[in-house]
A = this chain, B = another copy of it.
Amino acid sequence: MIDDQIFMAQAIALSVSGMENNEGGPFGAVVVKDGVVIGIGNNKVTSTNDPTAHAEVVAIREACKHLNSFQLDGCVLYTSCEPCPMCLGAIYWARPDKIVYACTRDDAAAIDFDDAFIYEEIQTTINSRKIPMCQVSRNDALVAFKKWAEKTNKTRY
């Protein structure tokens, strides 16, 4: 669709300007609702010392601020690259209607980003991951979960 290409061009332009300004890697994203851009982002990991400042996360946070909501109902997210697992997770929590992407995780791997590696790690078992994971104190933490289940004035998400 022509609209998709127009909004993607904005995401790609953000990817280039952010990179050229030394803000971070070559990734850009925009969130669109009713044909209007309500959030923009480019990768800012290295310039802000924030490993979570990927283009999609930055754009989602801005769009949610704009909507005064933690949900992106009716929105489309355009990203210049297939979302990494962190960003795909963020997208699923924000729940937009649709994702449009350009490059793939393998394109990202070809310029030395870990997206494909992290997809592999997430799909492997906890005990086989490169970053060791161990479990303690489950029963203590379950007490908090029980309190949540019993809480009457909670906001679900």
Write out the residue numbers on chain B whose beta carbons fall within 8 Å of the beta carbon of A50: 61, 64-65, 70
Q: Distance (Å) between the CB of A114 and the closest chain B CB? A: 7
Check B92 against A131 for contact (C-beta < 8 Å): yes
Contact B145 A103 (CB under 8 A): yes
CA distance A75 to B90 in the complex (A): 23
Query: What 1/0 mask marks residues of chain A from 111 to 126 whose CB sits below 8 Å from any chain B CB?
Result: 1101001110111001
Q: Does A60 sit at the interface, judged by CB under 8 A?
A: yes
Please give the residue numbers on chain A whose beta carbons come within 8 Å of chain B beta carbons, in ascending order: 1, 4-5, 8-9, 11-12, 15-16, 19-20, 22, 24-26, 28, 45-46, 49-52, 54, 57, 60-61, 64-65, 67-72, 80-82, 84-104, 107-108, 110-112, 114, 117-119, 121-123, 126, 131-138, 140-145, 147-149, 151, 153-157
The answer to whether A157 and B123 touch across the interface, beta carbons within 8 angstroms, is: no
Q: How far is A134 from B3 in the complex, measured between Cα atoms in Å?
A: 13
B-side contacts of A141, CB under 8 Å? 8, 11-12, 15, 80-81, 102-103, 107
Output the nearest chain B residue to A110 by Cβ-Cβ distance.
B145
How many angstroms from the CA of A81 to the CA of B136 in the assembled complex? 10
User: B107, A89: Cβ atoms under 8 Å?
Assistant: no
Q: Given A122-B85, A135-B101, A90–B22 Cβ distance below 8 Å? A: no
